Amino acid sequence: MTVKDFYAEIGGDYGDAVKRLMNDSLIYRFIMKFPDDKSFDMLKTALQKKDLEAAFSAAHTLKGVTLNLAFNKLSAASLKLTDALRSQNRADYSFEDFNSMFSEVQKEYTVVCSALEKTAV
Provide the CA 85 distance to its chain's centre, in angstroms.
15
pLDDT at 120 over 90: no
Ranges assigned E (strand) in the chain = none
- Predicted TM-score (pTM) of this structure: 0.94
Kind plus residue range of the DSSP H or E element containing 18: helix 14-21
The secondary structure of residue 11, as a DSSP letter, is T
Q: Dump pLDDT digits (tens) for 34-70.
A: 999 999 999 999 999 999 999 999 999 999 999 999 9
d(CA 99, CA 107): 12
The span from the CA of 96 to the CA of 21, in Å, is: 38
Residue pLDDT, tens place only, 61-117: 999 999 999 999 999 999 999 999 999 999 999 999 999 999 999 999 999 999 999
